[in-house]
Amino acid sequence: MTQLSDEQLDDLLRRSFNAAVPDDGFSSQVMRALPARSHGPEWLLPVAVLLGVLLAWLALSPSPLWQQAAREWLSANLHASSMLVCALMLGSGLLSCVWAMEEAS
């Protein structure tokens, strides 16, 4: 009994497969369905970052923790606890910023 050879089987499979599907308006339909790329103006990102920093400063400035950290920093005597609080605030701010930029892209 003869078994199909590898080449015969491959040829049979290729012949049964039609990769040349006619376009028939498909491409135009896809192009109509494409979402518009929302490219904001170039200045938007740096302005948004500056605005974010300003808002964060305004929100944090009344905080006694922040004021104490600022005083310690200005007197060049920053304690570990104040440093930790500042690092946490800075870290969460950076994370929010990265997340917002990722969402925007």
Considering just the CA atoms, what is the radius of gyration of the chain in Å? 30
- 77 or 105: whose CB is closer to another protein? 105
Q: Least distance (Å) from another protein to the CB of residue 9?
A: 6
Nearest Cα to 105, choosing from 42, 37, 32, 52?
37
The type of residue at 75 is S
Q: Does 102 sit near another protein (CB under 8 A)?
A: no
Nearest Cα to 93, choosing from 59, 69, 43?
59
Stretch that binds another protein, among 24-32, 50-58, 61-69, 78-86 (CB under 8 A): 24-32
Q: Which two tokens stand for residue 75?
A: 């007197």
Q: Does 3 sit near another protein (CB under 8 A)?
A: yes
User: CA separation (Å) from 36 to 30, 33, 39, 59, 102?
Assistant: 13, 9, 9, 36, 18
Which residues in the 30-49 window bind another protein by CB under 8 A?
Answer: 30-31, 33-35, 37, 39
Stretch that binds another protein, among 17-25, 40-48, 51-59, 67-75 (CB under 8 A): 17-25
Q: Which residues bind another protein (CB under 8 A)?
A: 1-4, 6-23, 26-27, 29-31, 33-35, 37, 39, 105
